[in-house]
Chains A and B, each alone.
Chain A
Amino acid sequence: MRIATSSLDLRRPATLESALQALRDDARTPIAGATDLYVTLNFGTLEARRFLDLSRLAELRGITERGDTLVIGALASFTALQRSPLVVKRLPMLVEAARLVGGVQIQNRATLGGNIANASPAGDSLPVLAAVDAAIVLRSVDGERRVPMTEFYTGYRASVMRPDELITAVEVPRVEGHQWFRKVGTRAALAISKVVVAGVRDGPRAARFAIGSVAPTVVRARKAEGVLAKGGKIEEAVRALQAEITPIDDLRSTAEYRTAVAGNLLRRFWAETA
């Protein structure tokens, strides 16, 4: 580690109430599986010095059904998602996404809440949650609020979550139709996505499609969806999609490549779920 641990302060609350109180009392960075945080901490690029360990909050770990809603606790790991019969049955594309997050060691520790809160546009679970109109459950000492996944991010690495709030759960309404997930990276496991997409096809014209790594935040392709809903041609939808994304060149890929791949993925989604 490149920084002295003696400069760091960690609180380890045993209940959600005390965790939320600690966040209200002073600014603290939550730690879930630490697979993002410890990379930056080891590197010495993390500025935070006060932390809040969430790992004792067992109530944030469960995966349950409430009526028609699938409720996934923020601390559910990608391994837990793969093993959950409820997720396998109701949201198989989240299982596919979970299998491709890093290697097994990362999947055993990395949490869904951490993937969302970390707010990387390449987060593999984000298009899945955006495509199925999931809601993020945020909690503070003042109470609870729900934010649609498609309204959660406000810009690059920015979200509506306040510093005194925690993500406690993700709520997924019943999904009808064919679920489809693809991750394009340099290799299947471990690689950060160059482009990652999730779609739901429910009928000849009804599609929901979300795409990551092609804009500062995950994009729900409303314009492309609208074209298809009106019975428009797939090529017209591809053009609409390519107009609503803003990919960049970075060390993993180029904007041109990402634009082409985004279009190809929409074509394949449409053909394979027909």
Chain B
Amino acid sequence: MRFTLNGLPVETNAHPMARLLDVLREEQRLTGTKEGCGEGECGACTVLVDGQSVCSCLVPVAQVEGARVTTIEGLHGTHPLQKLFMDEVGAQCGICTPGMVLAALALEDNPVPTLDDVRTALAGNLCRCTGYSAIYRAVLKWRAEADSGPHAAPEQASARHK
């Protein structure tokens, strides 16, 4: 079964009902995607499937056949939002960060999100460390600065794993 992972075609031999999370971490060796709860509550396992955020712990890998999957590795550590998470101390232990960043990308089409928009976009992501305000600040700053420089959409970014 094939799908596109961070811009590159991949073939998986995993069982069709294996969780996308396990295929990414164990077979594709992309460990940026984290497992927190394994029940859809924490968002640590968030990845994008055809541009939409999903909890990869609740996705049978068969259902991404032919789809474009983007993990945090697909942003190459160069996405402006990643830098802002560091600058604003929106990351402490870092377990929630990949999921937060990918979930926040849904705000890409929203030029001026309100704090409420950010909260709603990240409602499916839990953080045990930061108290959220630094995370919200990073995301709001990213949108405010978005005009100042274009960056590659995650789908266009090429894979750098393996």
Contact = CB atoms under 8 A, between A and B. Distances in A.
A105 B19 contact: no
Interface stretch (B10-18, B76-84, B88-96, B140-148): B10-18
Contacts of A41: 17
Nearest to B46: A105
B58 A5 contact: no
Contacts of B157: none
Nearest to B58: A38
Contacts of A190: 41, 123-124
Contact of B38 (A42, A79, A105, A109): A42
B17 A8 contact: yes
Contacts of A109: 54-55, 58-59
B57 A42 contact: yes
Contacts of A79: 52
B124 A103 contact: yes
Contacts of B71: none
Contacts of A8: 15, 17
Interface residues of A, number: 30
Interface string B1-38: 00000000000001111110010000000000000001
Contacts of B38: 1, 42-43
B22 A1 contact: yes
A34 B60 contact: yes
A189 B43 CA distance: 13
A5 B18 contact: yes
B34 to A, nearest CB: 14
A202 to B, nearest CB: 31
Given A42-B39, A79-B52, A12 B16 contact: yes
A106 B124 contact: yes
Contacts of B63: 31, 34, 53, 55
B116 to A, nearest CB: 10
B121 A38 contact: no
A254 interface: no
Interface residues of B, number: 31
Contacts of A103: 43, 103, 122-125
Interface string B58-78: 111011000000000000000
B53 interface: yes
A10 interface: yes
Contacts of B39: 39, 42-43
Contacts of A270: none
B106 interface: yes
A189 B119 CA distance: 10
Contacts of B59: 34, 38, 109
Given A5-B15, A8-B17, A102-B124, A38 B57 contact: yes
A34 B58 contact: yes
Nearest to A51: B17
A15 interface: no
B82 to A, nearest CB: 19
Chain A CB within 10 A, most for which of B19, B52, B53, B123: B123
Nearest to A109: B54
A189 B17 contact: no
Interface in B100-134: 103, 106, 120-125
Contacts of A108: 52-54
6 contacts: A35-B55, A39-B39, A42-B39, A105-B46, A105-B54, A109-B59
Given A34-B60, A109-B54, A188-B123, 8 more contacts: A1-B18, A1-B38, A35-B55, A38-B40, A39-B39, A53-B63, A109-B55, A190-B123
Interface of B: 14-19, 22, 38-41, 43, 46, 52-55, 57-60, 62-63, 103, 106, 120-125
The 6 closest A-B pairs by CB, nearest first: A103-B124, A189-B123, A5-B15, A38-B58, A103-B123, A108-B52
